[in-house]
Amino acid sequence: VTTFRSPSNKANGNTRDRQGRLVTCEHGGRRVIRTEYDGSITVIASHYQGKRLNSPNDVVVKSDGSIWFTDPAFGLLSHYEGTVAEPELPQNVYRVDPDSFEITAVAEGVAGPNGLCFSPDETTFYLVESRATPHRLIAAYDVSADGRSIANRRVFADAGPGGTPDGIRCDIDGNLWCGWGMGTPELDGVMVFAPDGTAIGRIRLPERCANVCFGGRHRNRLFMATGRGLYALYVNTQGVAGG
């Protein structure tokens, strides 16, 4: 493991687009950026309707090249995660058009939007709601035929008392892998859910898992990021391309 960028501008979620470029959410800059092949930075999103974003948290790139990201207020609450400030916008989920860079709010006023991903066929969109009550949850939406909007929100998985879902990714079988935990042995690690929302597996870790991704030549190695470490495990499946 080596340092890629320092300082990171309090970076949070990352992903690669279909051209292999790194797309990053920055709490410090309150923006989403893309690192080009030559190392230069392109700002993908920093404002919506003339107002500054809150603190972009996590990001995924759809097969059509559109960039989807969550924008909670987490990074405005402390200098540890970002910069203390009053939010200018509700906590939304956004889509950035791959050609025009137009930004559209696809889900508005979400209770702490966090991790996000698409099902393998991109007909279902999953979203972690970190401030939902009475329990945190993972919501599912139908993706429109043109791939530009979502509808029909429903609860995919209720985290229950103390459950803390965070970053999520899908495998090619439609299972959802979710970073989980609250600093306790009973909860810390990764939870795995079947496409119907049934919990089918768990990977135990010695600390809370904030985010996950599939990597390696065959996308069959699960990387699990925690507050103090990075763990990896070969799994009997593959991650969805672009995730």
pLDDT value at position 132?
95
8 A C-beta contact, residue 159 and residue 138? yes
Q: Which two tokens stand for residue 27?
A: 């709490």
**Which amino acid, one-letter code, is at 48?**
Y
User: If you average pLDDT over every residue of the chain, what do you get?
Assistant: 96
8 A C-beta contact, residue 25 and residue 11? yes
Residue with the bigger pLDDT between 162 and 91: it is 91
Q: Beta partners for 234?
A: 221
Residue with the bigger pLDDT between 135 and 162: it is 135
The length of the chain is 243
8 A C-beta contact, residue 168 and residue 156? no
CATH architecture of the domain formed by 11-234: 6 Propeller (2.120)
pLDDT in tens, 16-54: 999 999 999 999 999 999 999 999 999 999 999 999 999
CA 18 distance to own-chain centroid: 17
Q: Using a pLDDT cut of 90, give the percent of the chain over it.
A: 91
The angle subtended at Cα 144 by Cα 138 and Cα 146, nearest 5°, is 135
DSSP-assigned letter for residue 240 = P
Residues 104-131 have a mean pLDDT of: 98
pLDDT value at position 162?
84
The reported pTM is 0.96
DSSP-assigned letter for residue 239 = B
pLDDT at 243 over 70: no
Q: What share of the chain is helix, strand, coil (3-state, %, to 5)?
A: 0, 45, 55
Q: Give the ranges where the chain is alpha helix by DSSP (H).
A: none
pLDDT at 219 over 80: yes
